[in-house]
């Protein structure tokens, strides 16, 4: 998956990364894997993935593995790809200690 802005997925990736950075969250695009890495997000999120869901591209949230908590293999669907502002807001304001999936 290319991160070129002429590509809808690439546009969504760069849009989310830019939106997160504008909110003070460190974010790096990985167009080859279709994700935005967010290592410093408040709730310990490790990445926002762009994956198929409900017939379109959606943002999925992945969190780092925590002791005693089974990892979610594919993450949790959060919003359609075009809702980058919504996803960035959820990641940027997520409180500490939120259970997996409750972004």
pLDDT in tens, 44-81: 556 788 888 878 889 888 766 666 666 555 677 889 99
pTM above 0.85, yes or no: no
Does an H or E element contain 77, and which?
A: strand 76-80
CA distance 103 to 99: 8
CA distance 68 to 58: 28
Residue 101 confidence (pLDDT): 40
- Paired with 57 in beta bridges are 52
> What token pair was written down for 68?
């005693």
pLDDT in tens, 11-42: 899 999 999 999 888 888 988 888 888 776 55
């Amino acid at each position: 998956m290319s991160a070129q802005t002429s590509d809808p997925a690439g546009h969504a990736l760069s849009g989310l990364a830019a939106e997160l950075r504008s909110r003070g969250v460190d974010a790096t695009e990985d167009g080859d894997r279709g994700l935005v890495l967010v290592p410093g997000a408040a709730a310990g999120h490790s990445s926002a993935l762009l994956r198929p869901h409900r017939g379109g591209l959606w943002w999925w949230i992945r969190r780092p593995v925590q002791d005693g908590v089974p990892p979610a293999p594919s993450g949790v669907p959060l919003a359609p790809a075009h809702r980058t502002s919504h996803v960035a807001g959820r990641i940027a304001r997520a409180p500490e200690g939120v259970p997996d999936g409750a972004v």
